[in-house]
């Protein structure tokens, strides 16, 4: 997460997305820790612990996509990128971000179909018979956030690269 203070509403929104992703990662960790602790020491299992774990992992994945897509902290291969000039690097960044925007937008559309079909089919967890669609809905909201953040990143890459920091910082001329 960024340590710089939020400069405007969009930066606060981006930081909020990152906090939501961190919250769900913490929730998954607590679920796993408590489940293992109860099972190992007391031979007790939390009802639907497995279902909650896998559904929460899905949520973490989609909110994680949102958090990493804007910051550009995902895994990259720099073989070509490192051997071209700054102008071509910026072109590669814009092109790659546009491709990512397209892919995640299509993914968001198909995930919404999964939310509605899960709701219509009344899919529920094994032990407690809780509906699964709210978990899918929260995952879809993470994907929607990813689309918004990737769109903001694309806009900033093209028109205001200095707002992204890092290699796009404007260097003062002495």
DSSP state, residue 80: T
- What is the pLDDT at residue 84? 87
Instruction: State pLDDT tens for residues 151-170.
Output: 988 998 899 887 776 665 54
CA distance 86 to 164: 15
Mean predicted confidence (pLDDT) in 6-22: 82
CA distance 92 to 59: 30
- Residue 51 predicted with pLDDT over 80: yes
The CA distances from residue 36 to 40, 45, 68, 108, 127, in Å, are 6, 9, 29, 33, 18
Weakest mean pLDDT among 20-24, 81-85, 97-101, 130-134 = 81-85
Weakest mean pLDDT among 13-17, 28-32, 47-51, 99-103 = 13-17
172 falls in which pLDDT band (50, 70, 90)?
A: very low
Weakest mean pLDDT among 34-48, 73-87, 94-108 = 73-87
Tokens of 73: 């902290």
- What is the pLDDT at residue 90? 85
DSSP per-residue string spanning 34-58 = HHHHHHHHH----TTHHHHHHHHHH
- What is the pLDDT at residue 171? 47
* Stated pTM of the model: 0.82
| Domain ranges (residues) in the chain | 9-168
- Chain-centroid distance, C-alpha 126: 27
Please name the residue ranges forming H helices in the chain: 9-42, 49-71, 86-120, 133-159
Mean pLDDT of the chain: 86
Weakest mean pLDDT among 37-41, 70-74, 94-98, 158-162 = 70-74
């Amino acid at each position: 997460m960024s340590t710089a203070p939020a400069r405007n509403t969009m930066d606060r929104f981006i930081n909020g997305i990152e906090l939501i992703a961190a919250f769900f990662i913490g929730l998954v960790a607590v679920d796993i820790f408590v489940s293992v602790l109860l099972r190992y020491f007391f031979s007790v299992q939390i009802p639907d612990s497995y279902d909650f774990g896998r559904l929460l992992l899905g949520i973490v994945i989609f909110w994680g996509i949102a958090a990493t897509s804007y910051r550009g902290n995902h895994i990259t291969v720099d073989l070509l990128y490192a051997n071209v000039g700054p102008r071509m690097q910026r072109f590669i960044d814009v092109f790659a971000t546009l491709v990512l925007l397209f892919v995640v937008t299509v993914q968001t559309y198909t995930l919404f179909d999964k939310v509605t079909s899960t709701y219509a089919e009344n899919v529920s967890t094994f032990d407690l018979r809780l509906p699964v669609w709210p978990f899918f809905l929260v995952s879809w909201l993470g994907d929607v956030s990813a689309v918004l953040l990737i769109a903001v990143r694309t806009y900033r890459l093209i028109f205001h690269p200095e707002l992204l920091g890092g290699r796009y910082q404007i260097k003062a001329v002495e």
